[in-house]
């Protein structure tokens, strides 16, 4: 709940900036100016890093007895309150012999946040550089040893946004589950919101309301920004002052970069055929999604379309899938037992079957879980406009868009108009395809009897993650081939 509230806050005030939303109240006291944060790479190269606050500051890492005392400026930031809500619904129909099961679920959820007056504390970077100009990192420090072995990056807290008074976060949920037949599984609402276990005969309904309020104390960090550190083998270090600079530890005379993969799509602004930027697409296997039971595919598809309207919810779903793929304990963001969402996802997606190794998946996780995590991770990278268009597209439209992308990526030449999916030969549907691809920086245009799809190299991973998103959603709509 706290993580969703802070994610909404950052998305509203700094959507393309450097602020990182605070995910755990328990870590707030660690994020003082000049504190050290571990920046950890994720599974897929386009994903934003995970950040883990530590119990140390930069001063703790440097050789010498003199303690660095950061210069900090404090200013009023802004007053913030917001209410976010969404509706969800879905249904499952299944049969086994003479037993038929029907389950329908619907509900609403509202998250109300009132952080009140916020203040900003910012590190005096010039003073830090001057005071530490002759200092070296203690390469024997336990934190350095652990981070260097895992090829992670250390960063310094540059600024933080704090509450100035006690404030509240309130979440209200209203849910209804209607069932008919014999059912003894984790309910549909367990996927859509909270877990409900149902075992009934005949027809009935179940309602569940929840009203949770959390008081956040004064001085709680809700967002922060960092600067990476470049650390040489001999202990010399530098602070990465530009936002696009990535730090790391020197290895074999080369500086490790956790985001080196992103450079594959940098370096030019010329227009290119869409196929030129989709290298590696075929190695990312989403086909296990089509092997899920039809009822599971339908429920998961409906869950995804609803979640696309709620970016913090999409991020939360991505983290749940990542933890399931990594075999992590089913706990919530505060280390307590989860509310049932992870269990529902695990029961639904962790299907037995032949192991697959796409080269990018998680060891030990099922092919279906890996594919679901890949799909949600790709969608999380998309702009709001793209997510909104995907959330309102019909199943048939999504399958047609995916067919079009598959044809376009197979060749660098224009696509003959008569090979375009029949559904997209309708002008209204074609305009929808233009809007969808255009939202991800892909230009779709008709020229005579040919169709062109072009993008620019400096648009990065957007075309790739859109194509993955469309392909995964189409898999959920289509089923086994």
Residue 463: count of CB within 10 angstroms of its CB: 27
| pLDDT band at residue 269 using 50, 70 and 90 as cut-offs | very low
- What does residue 187 show for φ and ψ, rounded to 5 degrees? -70, 165
Predicted local distance difference test score (pLDDT) of residue 238:
93
Identify whether the C-beta of residue 28 lies closer than 8 Å to the C-beta of residue 22. yes
Mean pLDDT of 102-119: 76
CA distance 4 to 316: 8
80-84, 139-143, 160-164, range with the lowest pLDDT? 80-84
203 token code pair: 């027809």
The arithmetic mean of pLDDT across residues 67-87, rounded, is 86
| Contact between residue 113 and residue 4 where contact means Cβ atoms under 8 Å apart | no
What is the C-alpha to C-alpha distance for residues 295 and 353, in angstroms, rounded to an integer?
18
Distance of alpha carbon 418 from alpha carbon 429, whole angstroms? 15
Give the model's confidence band at 97: pLDDT under 50 very low, under 70 low, under 90 confident, else very high. Answer: very low
Does the structure show a pLDDT above 80 at 134?
Answer: yes
Cross-strand pairs, 81: 114
What is the biggest distance separating any 2 CA atoms in the chain, rounded to whole angstroms? 80
The backbone torsions φ and ψ at residue 465, rounded to the nearest 5 degrees and listed phi first, read -70, -30
Q: Which candidate, 182, 180, 190, 184, places its Cα nearest to that of 90?
A: 190
Res. 480: pLDDT tops 60: no
Q: Is the pLDDT of residue 86 over 80?
A: no
Q: Looking at residue 407, what is its pLDDT?
A: 85
Residue in the structure block whose two tokens are 């981070």: 147
- Provide the sign of the torsion angle of the four alpha carbons 280, 284, 290, 291, taken in this order: positive
**What is the DSSP pairing of strand 254-255 with strand 415-416?**
unpaired
Let me know: does 258 contact 153? Beta carbons within 8 Å.
Answer: yes
* pLDDT for the residue 174: 72
Query: 355-391: per-residue pLDDT in tens?
Result: 444 445 555 568 898 899 999 999 998 998 999 999 9
Cα–Cα distance, 228 to 245 (Å, whole number): 8
Q: Provide φ and ψ at 310, rounded to 5°.
A: -135, 90
Q: Which of 17-21, 270-274, 344-348 has the highest mean pLDDT?
A: 17-21
With cut-offs at 50, 70 and 90, classify the pLDDT of residue 50. confident
For residue 160, the model assigns a pLDDT of 96
467-478 pLDDT, tens digit each: 999 999 999 987
- Which of 164 and 96 is assigned the larger pLDDT? 164
* pLDDT in the model for residue 178: 56
- pLDDT for position 349: 79
Kindly list the domain boundaries of the chain, sorted by start residue.
2-260, 274-478
pLDDT by residue (tens digit) across 217-265?
999 999 999 999 999 999 999 999 987 778 888 875 444 444 433 333 3
Provide the pLDDT for residue 89.
53
With a cut of 80, say whether residue 137 has pLDDT above it.
yes
Distance in angstroms (rounded) separating the CA atoms of residues 13 and 57: 28
Q: For the segment 399-457, what is each residue's pLDDT rounded down to a tens digit?
A: 999 999 888 877 777 888 888 888 888 888 989 999 999 998 888 888 878 888 877 66
Q: Which of 8-12, 37-41, 268-272 has the lowest mean pLDDT?
A: 268-272
pLDDT at 183 over 60: no
- For the record, the structure tokens of 235 come out as 């202990």
- For the chain, percent of residues with pLDDT exceeding 70: 72
Q: Quick one: which of 134, 144, 318, 161 has its CA closest to 247?
A: 144
Q: For residues 202-218, give the mean pLDDT.
A: 70
In the predicted structure, residue 24 carries a pLDDT above the cut 70 = yes
């Amino acid at each position: 709940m706290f993580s969703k509230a802070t994610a909404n806050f950052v998305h509203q005030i700094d959507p393309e900036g450097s602020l990182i939303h605070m995910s755990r109240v328990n870590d707030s006291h660690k994020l003082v100016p000049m504190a050290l944060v571990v920046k950890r790479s994720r599974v897929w190269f386009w994903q934003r890093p995970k950040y883990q606050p530590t119990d140390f500051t930069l001063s703790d890492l440097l050789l010498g007895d003199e303690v660095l005392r950061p210069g900090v400026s404090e200013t009023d930031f802004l007053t913030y309150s917001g209410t976010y809500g969404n509706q969800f619904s879905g249904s499952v129909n299944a049969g086994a012999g003479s037993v038929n099961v029907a389950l329908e679920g619907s509900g609403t959820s509202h998250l109300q946040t009132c952080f009140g007056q916020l203040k900003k504390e910012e590190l005096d970077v010039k003073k830090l550089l001057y005071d530490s100009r002759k200092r070296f990192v203690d390469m024997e420090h336990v934190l350095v040893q652990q981070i260097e072995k895992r090829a992670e990056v250390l960063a310094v807290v540059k600024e933080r946004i704090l509450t100035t008074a006690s404030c509240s976060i309130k979440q209200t949920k209203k849910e209804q589950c209607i069932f008919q037949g014999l059912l003894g599984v984790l309910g549909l609402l367990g996927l859509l919101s909270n877990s409900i276990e149902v075992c009934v005969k005949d027809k009935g309904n179940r309602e569940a309301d929840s009203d949770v309020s959390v008081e956040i104390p004064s001085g709680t960090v809700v967002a922060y920004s960092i600067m990476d550190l470049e650390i040489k083998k001999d202990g010399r270090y530098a602070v990465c002052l530009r936002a696009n600079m990535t730090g790391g530890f020197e290895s074999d005379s080369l500086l490790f970069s956790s985001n080196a993969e992103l450079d594959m799509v940098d370096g030019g602004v010329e227009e290119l055929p869409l196929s030129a930027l989709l290298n590696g697409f075929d190695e990312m296997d989403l086909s296990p999604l089509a092997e899920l039971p039809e009822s599971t595919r339908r429920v998961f598809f409906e869950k995804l379309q609803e979640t696309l309207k709620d970016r913090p919810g999409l991020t939360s779903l991505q983290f749940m899938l990542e933890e399931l793929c990594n075999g992590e304990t089913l706990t919530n963001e505060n280390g307590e037992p989860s509310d049932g969402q992870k269990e529902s996802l695990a029961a639904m997606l962790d299907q037995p079957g032949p192991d697959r190794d796409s080269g990018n998946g998680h060891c030990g996780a099922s092919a279906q879980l890996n594919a679901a995590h890949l799909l949600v991770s790709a969608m999380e990278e998309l702009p709001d406009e793209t997510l909104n268009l995907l959330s309102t597209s019909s199943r048939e439209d999504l399958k047609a868009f995916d067919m079009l992308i598959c044809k376009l990526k197979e060749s660098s030449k224009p696509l003959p108009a008569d090979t375009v999916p029949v559904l997209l030969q309708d002008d209204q549907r074609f305009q929808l395809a233009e809007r969808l691809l255009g939202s991800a920086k892909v230009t779709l245009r008709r020229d005579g009897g040919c169709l062109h799809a072009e993008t620019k190299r400096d648009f990065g991973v957007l075309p790739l993650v859109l194509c993955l998103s469309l392909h995964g959603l189409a898999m959920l709509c289509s089923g086994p081939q």
